[in-house]
Structure 1
């Protein structure tokens, strides 16, 4: 496999860490910023969810950005199309690298909300000279059903793939989904569609009998990013935990040689 890795040092210092997103699901804003200070040089991105954003607001995002770190703003925008659009524009102006939205428009077979959001974000970036963030649709909510289905209607096993296709048709950049859904989404949406996944298990605690999916498994299946939270920030040595995960990511990439070209030549965002 060494022929796929002529620049292994480059891989470890740059591309591998870019694949890891650390979730800042901490209660204390100061504690979260301390973790950012500690890991910013070895982690590609930090995920900020509702709790920290409500507590710290836009200034919290700016504090992370001032430290040279990238942000995945995980607020799952879900409102009227106009309000989602306005929230997306403000997230763009904050300089986040990614944000997500609830693809509720797809529940009634429409991609209008997602398309409008993508178009307006692109326009704002052109007119204001901003970097365009990646826009992701949430495809992990198993309870999402079509608007005319009853609460007792079982969810189709292909629902996640359907949502991903709606997102791709609306020119969104990708989806957030569970690790076990990654292969189907990748096969349905192509190699340049971004897949972010969470819920992976660390290699040392994932027993074969449990069918747990590790970071290597997720990357090998076609995921672009893995989100990991408590195994890192609750570790005695968070930097060591990060290195163990990036080592696992490298194992996944080594067993998926078709991804090597994309690592050296990342997709535009």
Structure 2
């Protein structure tokens, strides 16, 4: 990660219904963005072919599929994703799932990211789902399980980055969604921070969706975030 530029640390989420809309957005953003996240909606709308094309064009791709199934299925699915040339793949941070994904990516450059607690969840949401631990304890436990499984990083709210960086040191990549530039709508995110705050706290990569993709000038919005990342990264 240390060799990445500020632009490389911005991951724009292509949260649109189909590959055609995603392709148009990528073309509009041009060279202002080098890294894209494709989630379940776009993948089910032709996004795997788009992912392959983006990789072929020199872009980096984060497939946010949040895999969680029996180990054999996760291992085989991960191996398929590795063949596409994706940079990141998410799986839910359960020990069996993490271990299977690590096995599936063997021999490739794919990096496995464990999903700790969704950034749309708070303590009340976890309690309603039957968890006895709150967000912070759950995130910490899953971060350590991710590291112990040999995976590469975790997805977490930037609100927990500083504490998690102190816990895991430099061992894991910390990738943060729920990023909102100052003045942006929170939408359905509950644990959010600005790009500069996230970088200063120790985040490696920032995932940004609607503040870029729904902006009147998406390219300018992306450039402004890159500038903020660069400023926050400066010694």
Task: Tell me which interval the TM-score lies in, with the shorter structure as reference length.
Answer: 0.7 to 0.9
Mapping of residues 101-116 of structure 1, within 5 Å: 101-104=91-94, 111-116=95-100
Question: What TM-score do the two structures reach when normalised by structure 1?
Answer: 0.76
Structure 1 counterpart of 2:103, from 119, 135, 147:
119
Structure 1 counterpart of 2:160, from 181, 197, 201:
181
Mapping of residues 1-269 of structure 1, within 5 Å: 15-104=5-94, 111-122=95-106, 125=107, 131-141=108-118, 142=121, 151=130, 153-155=132-134, 157-205=136-184, 213-254=193-234, 257=235
Contact between 2:18 and 2:46, CA under 8 Å: does it hold in 1? no
Contact between 1:33 and 1:64, CA under 8 Å: does it hold in 2? no
Deviations 1:95-145 (A, max 9, x none): 1010010123xxxxxx344234313422xx2xxxxx411110001235669
Counterparts of 2:173 and 2:64, CA distance in 1:
15
Cα gap change, 1:157 to 1:62, in 2 (>3 Å): closer
Deviations 1:140-159 (A, max 9, x none): 235669xxxx8263536311
What is the root-mean-square deviation in Å for CA atoms of aligned residues? 2.4
Instruction: Provide runs of 4+ in structure 1 moved above 4 Å.
Output: 142-145
Structure 1: which 5+ residue stretches go unaligned? Answer: 1-10, 105-110, 126-130, 258-269
Contact between 2:68 and 2:97, CA under 8 Å: does it hold in 1? no
Deviation of residue 38 (structure 1)?
2.8
Question: What TM-score do the two structures reach when normalised by structure 2?
Answer: 0.86
Contact between 1:179 and 1:199, CA under 8 Å: does it hold in 2? yes
